[in-house]
Structure 1
Amino acid sequence: MGGDEGVRVMMAGVALARHRHEGLRFSLFGDEAQINAALESHPNLRAASEVFHADSVVEPTDKPGVAIRKKTSSMSMAIAAVKAGEAGAAVSAGNTGALMAMAKVALRTMPGIDRPALAAMLPTLGDNDVIMLDLGANTECDARNLVQFAVMGAAYARIAFDLERPRVRLMNIGTEDMKGTEEIRDAAAILRAATALPMSFEGFTEGDKIGRGDTDVVVCDGFSGNVALKTAEGTARFVTDLLRKAFTSSVRSKIGFLISKPAMHLLKHHLDPNNHNGAVFLGLNGVVVKSHGNADAKGVANAVHVAARLLEEDITRRIAADVANIEAASANAPRLEMPAK
């Protein structure tokens, strides 16, 4: 019920995902009348779905504390279904802060994980996107948090990009070893020593290099990550708006646009956030995926696809195994011991 475009677009997106993953079944939580009306256009989805009426909705303006008390909201019921084992994953386009708070309270963090992190894919110039975390769930992080984020991000990258050893970097104000805060430097030392983990830790990266395609996972605290994400999104809009303005400024410009239309189409496709939709709350005892509120049907389908892939590849088990490995490695290397909470 949380998408900007309403139930119709959400159902259209789920119907697209159904064609891509024919084995999936869907539990649809929200206003029963609206959902059933939208399903009239998607008989294939109706056959694979069950509708559960929700008495209330988490509003975009609801603070997390208010949202948590709405036990019969569509968002709360979806997360409760995951907790009860009645659903494998929850996908929502609603209030991000509320979704994180409700998921954390209901599902709890995995053993060995102190805080869940919000991870998403960003476009790059390379063959793959880049996974970046944390994007706003934790504004302040210590070295232990950053190491756990790296472990979770690498597990996600192995699934999303089909890589054995994803390249992982910490975001910093420089690439030299002495740069950055004590927390970042300590996290780097721990990750360099954890050579048995299924990842390749390659040191630091800077914000202007995130999109180059030379790394698979970028790790940072939630404050820096959210600023970097919003800056990237704003820059993408600036570029596309500037080009649109330039190509309509004169007859000659319009002719130039017609000539360069194939390249412009490729640029638009590459920067379209719907092609990268589906942020993941990693580190919980269950899979929860956040869709952009303004996602179109293609974007919603992509968010569902992300959830399906994480379930198919058992992301929770992978993270648990990697966390156990790094805890064991830290225990055998006292000088690089993970800081105690």
Structure 2
Amino acid sequence: MQGNGEDQANDDAARAADFASPFDRAEWFDLLEAYGFAGKGRVDARGSSAAATALLPLRREKGGHLAGLTNWYSFAIRPLFSGTEGRPAALADLFRRLRAEAARLSLHPVLEGEHDRIAAALRAAGWWVQATPAGDRHWLDLGEMDHAAWWASRPGALRSTVQRKAKKGIVDIQLLTEFDPGSWAAYEQIYAASWKPEEGHPALLRAFAEMEGARGTLRMGIARIDHVPVAAQFWTVEGGTAFIHKLAHVEDSLKASPGTLLSAALFRHVIEVDGVRRVDFGTGNDAYKRDWMNRHDPLWHIEAFNPSRVAAWGPALKAFARSLLRKDK
């Protein structure tokens, strides 16, 4: 089950049923592995049924513990499939095979709606399963709305701010659809001067941006005041969805609202030019996200324990005890 360079576990055929994501692609998992996020080794778990195959990239932790191959940039982890019929059986087969080498399995963040089928497949394969809400996801579902209808649905205070600040003409907006080293340097300069904590792994993030630029999916914005970069955002577009990965602004530029104007420009571009129907703001429950989005879901943390492994009994007991305590509160 060990992945390797020749055997790219998540090929282009192994896509999720609902919408594509950069976090479903082989290149993303290869990046995580290359930059040291595969723990004690990468495991590309596989299962199959008569009509489908299932795939789940994992990393080894200590003590027979496997976890989803993710890091803090990941919006979600989920099984990937080829074939449309028999997916539950293929996923159960994957988890059944994993019992031969793991005492414990952890998956996070898992999307609302995904967690039920993952938990069901784990139970069908004989695992003890604990699924708990852990985090938040804000996203935009445009439905039949065009940009004008969506914008009209946003809070009046937001629309007023964009109108007033844009009229003043203080902020210049630049949108890019290709990776540009100078613009990325401006982003890093802005991030370093922003309220954000230190970037977790800037080299990986840049490599990801370069990769998306080569694919034609990168959307980046820089806002300048008097030719000085003061706000930047890094988005990608894929399969009808725009993903907002990073945003930052310089604190002393707030009166001009460069970040808000930049967001408005990028939303207009991805809706009107790229034709997306969804925008995903990633993980986190920041209050400002509600101004732009119309959907809010919990994210889930799944812990599964292999009852045939004595090493799993203690952690399982603790996990289920914590769950009972939460219910009593």
Return the TM-score normalized by structure 1.
0.31
Q: If each structure's helix is expressed as a fraction of its own residues, which one has the higher value?
A: 1
- Scaled by the length of structure 2, what TM-score is found? 0.32
